[in-house]
Structure 1
């Protein structure tokens, strides 16, 4: 009788183990299936991320190309407005589209003003500074021809003062001169010589304390596209 009980107990215990193993296997299968589904979701997310990055890159490239086109159009409009304004300026020197202050002449990207009062080289430079400008420097042929057209006489230039007297120079020879980089501006009363336009063709030197006229230059403001085009449209010219 005791042996049968023992056998029954053993059988019951084995049955419990089998059931436990079966449950574990089922859990393992569920875990495997869940992991497989999660991996699928992860792969889809990865694909979505890659597609999104691709679209963002394409959009950035498109935006950069669009910005470049807009810059080119803006540059073209600015050039057209400047040319149009310059033609208007030639007809009417004080046209409101002019990018220079009143009574200043406009040439390319700079403004010029003649001061007819007599003063020393240093004081003339201070007069220019008071107008956010500097004494004229002739550094290219375009400016040279413009200045020649003004037929100036006895106007200080922004040449660096010299210690000793120098003979005259042809204006054309000064274009690449290092003398345009002004220096040695202290102690001008101590026998220094400064350059000035003595005729249409030549630069001369005289004592920096001598009284002469002055010509100042400064950068022109950008031509305002809207005002230039609107003025012409209202006038019925375009």
Structure 2
């Protein structure tokens, strides 16, 4: 009900709300603690939406983000023009179905994920460099309200390899599947479901001397089964 009512606000009322919000933001001493993540795929792009939640001129990106956070029940990010200092809060998260115009200076900043986490397709991801066993990595993710990451498509696997890991090394990182219950059948720990997508390295999975837990290779994105007791970095994932 709140969301529908907010969308139907008269332009003058919405403008008044925006300026009152900005006044509050400018008086907020914690404004510089706000964390924003810029998504480069939306650089110089602005959706041709008929209506935005809020539109304000002559504000900083931090003020723009703060306004979004104050309207968090409907706002997940901001479009901001660094050249004109113009701030727009979209009605919905940007997606491929929206009609975009190419306009210099515009970019999109996400406010959904905590500092250190990256946003992708309605989820937040964290590459934790602490070396842990697979089981301890799983518990660590769960203690942060997340889970040891599942990967359900080639697109997600590529994004994790290129954007989240972003390394040319041959190191490996834990992800959230194992075949400890039934040998040869890997199960995602979060959903207790079998793999709908896989990206095994050549010769894998081979259960070499009892390898039961799943890892992803940094530079290739290929998967490997490893001994669960080995200490590796790991990827946590959570729904926004």
TM-score scaled to structure 1, two decimals?
0.43
TM-score scaled to structure 2, two decimals?
0.43
Structure with higher strand content = 2
